[in-house]
């Protein structure tokens, strides 16, 4: 398996490792109810929650995590990667939705993961998140199952759609 990269580039994005000075940008996204609607945790109410989130990203061993922040024209606009390989997750600032950034970042990440000779990626998606499901399907993820009441988010019981993308092996 090839080692992990510090940065990835796509046509419009720089995917790079999180830095401690990303807290404010990440907090702006993770405190936004629209951005976090389908995330596995409630929106952050305080900057301290986002500080802990960034600290956890910084301290997780590279062998377990492969996460990148998404930067466009010098601004952090989201995050994509695998906190625990092979399961991926991502979020994007709502003012950047519908502009192809998630598709672009995901395609770049998949190419990077393929080069690392990883066999597959998985995703656990709320079935109400139609945009995410459509994006994952477009890049080749296929549904492998569904389960009801997999977690509670605030006062909402959430279900899961499980997906998998098999990758070519070298």
Q: Is residue 18 part of a domain?
A: yes
**Residue 67 belongs to a domain with what CATH number?**
3.40.630.30
Question: What is the per-residue pLDDT across 21-31, written as a single tens digit (0 to 9) for each?
Answer: 999 999 999 99
| Structural domain boundaries, residue 106 | 7-119
Does residue 89 have a pLDDT over 90?
yes
Query: Could you give the residue ranges of the DSSP H alpha helices within 31-100?
Result: 47-59
- Is 144 within a domain? no
Q: What is the pLDDT of residue 1?
A: 45
Q: What is the pLDDT of residue 153?
A: 87
Residue-wise pLDDT tens digits, 59-70: 887 667 899 999
pLDDT value for 9: 96
Is residue 78 a part of any domain in this protein? yes
Average pLDDT of 11-33? 97
Closest residue by Cα to residue 86 from 164, 158, 170 = 164
Residue 157 in domain: no
In a domain, 80, yes or no: yes
Q: What confidence category does residue 10 fall into, taking pLDDT thresholds of 50, 70 and 90?
A: very high
Residue 127 lies in a domain: no
Residues linked to residue 156 through DSSP beta bridges, in sequence order: 153
Q: Tell me if 110 sits within 8 A of 122, measured CB to CB.
A: no
- State the pLDDT at residue 14: 97
- Interatomic CA distance for residues 29 and 35, integer angstroms: 6
Question: Is the model's pLDDT at 169 over the cut of 80?
Answer: no
31 located within any domain: yes
Query: Cβ distance 103 to 5 under 8 Å?
Result: no
Model confidence at 19: pLDDT above 50: yes
pLDDT digits over 117-146, tens only?
Answer: 889 999 999 999 999 999 999 999 999 999
Question: Could you give the CA distance from residue 68 to residue 62 in angstroms, rounded to a whole number?
Answer: 12
Alpha-helix runs per DSSP H in the chain = 23-30, 47-59, 101-115, 130-138
Domains of the chain: total: 1
Residue 159 lies in a domain: no
CA dist 109 → 23, 145, 167 (Å) = 22, 24, 12
């Amino acid at each position: 398996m090839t080692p992990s990269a510090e940065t990835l580039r796509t046509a419009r994005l720089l995917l790079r490792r999180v830095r401690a000075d990303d807290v404010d940008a990440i907090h702006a996204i993770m405190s936004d109810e629209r951005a976090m609607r389908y995330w596995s945790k409630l929106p952050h109410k305080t900057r301290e929650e986002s500080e802990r989130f960034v600290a956890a990203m910084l301290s997780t061993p590279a062998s377990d995590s492969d996460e990148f922040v998404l930067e466009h024209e010098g601004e952090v606009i989201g995050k994509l990667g695998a906190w625990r390989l092979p399961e991926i997750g991502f979020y994007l600032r709502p003012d950047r939705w519908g502009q192809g950034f998630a598709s672009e970042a995901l395609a770049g990440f998949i190419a990077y993961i393929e080069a690392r000779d990883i066999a597959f990626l998985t995703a656990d998606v709320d079935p109400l998140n139609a945009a995410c499901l459509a994006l994952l399907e477009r890049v080749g993820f296929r549904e492998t199952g569904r389960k009801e009441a997999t977690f509670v988010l605030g006062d909402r019981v959430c279900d899961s759609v499980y997906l998998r993308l098999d990758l070519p092996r070298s």
